[in-house]
A = this chain, B = another copy of it.
Amino acid sequence: MLDAASIVFGERGYTGTTTDAVAVAAGVSQAYIVRTFGSKEALFAETAGRALSRIEAVFRQAAAPDSSAGDTVQERLGRAYVDLVADRGILLTVMHLFTLGHHDTFGSLARDGFLSIYRLLRDEIGLTPQEAEGFLAKGMLINTMLGLRLPDVVTTEPDAGELIACVLEDATEEVVTLTTGHRPLGSAARNSN
């Protein structure tokens, strides 16, 4: 049920999501959703909290240099971010949470979650504030492009493809395939050799 909620909240945001839509996605009744979590607010709080925890866990794991040496922390963080993209819903749910700063209930939750990630990057992973800023900025740009569904139009909008490739570099194909299901432009020619 939380998985379904994550996907639906990620697509439509908090106010745009009905408990019925989550119920349909989860394959249960709307009444059951509401009774299980108490309210729509509580459901979103739990969904968003889980998404934040997952992001932090993935970053923490990327910080541990247990993988084959030779790559920098930044590179490991970048690959970790691509893994997060695969988990459809998490990044977009958090992005929607970040637009709720004015909300009575979720405002502080959103700020705490954001600052918690910043502290994780700075204190545990050891990035400088400038490095953390750059990483966060790139992440916000990726989240925005995901919210725009820019990968969907990569075949019809060459500029979208250029920008995505510029941001994601080697991970472009993987992300486009993950988020659209179809084969990205030009990959066939490159792979068929």
Contact = CB atoms under 8 A, between A and B. Distances in A.
A153 B111 contact: yes
A84 interface: no
B11 A149 contact: no
Number of copies: 2
A102 to B, nearest CB: 5
Looking at A16, A129, A141, A148, the one whose CB has the most chain B CB atoms below 10 A away is A148
Question: What's the dominant secondary structure at chain A's contact region?
Answer: helix
Contact of A140 (B92, B102, B141, B166): B141
Interface string A139-181: 0110111111110110001011011001100000000000000
Interface residues of A, number: 48
B99 A95 contact: yes
A16 B101 CA distance: 13
Contacts of A110: 148
A152 B101 CA distance: 10
Given A98-B147, A115-B159, A130 B166 contact: yes
19 contacts: A95-B99, A98-B144, A100-B147, A101-B146, A101-B150, A107-B149, A111-B149, A111-B157, A114-B145, A114-B148, A118-B163, A119-B159, A129-B166, A130-B166, A133-B166, A136-B141, A137-B138, A140-B143, A140-B144
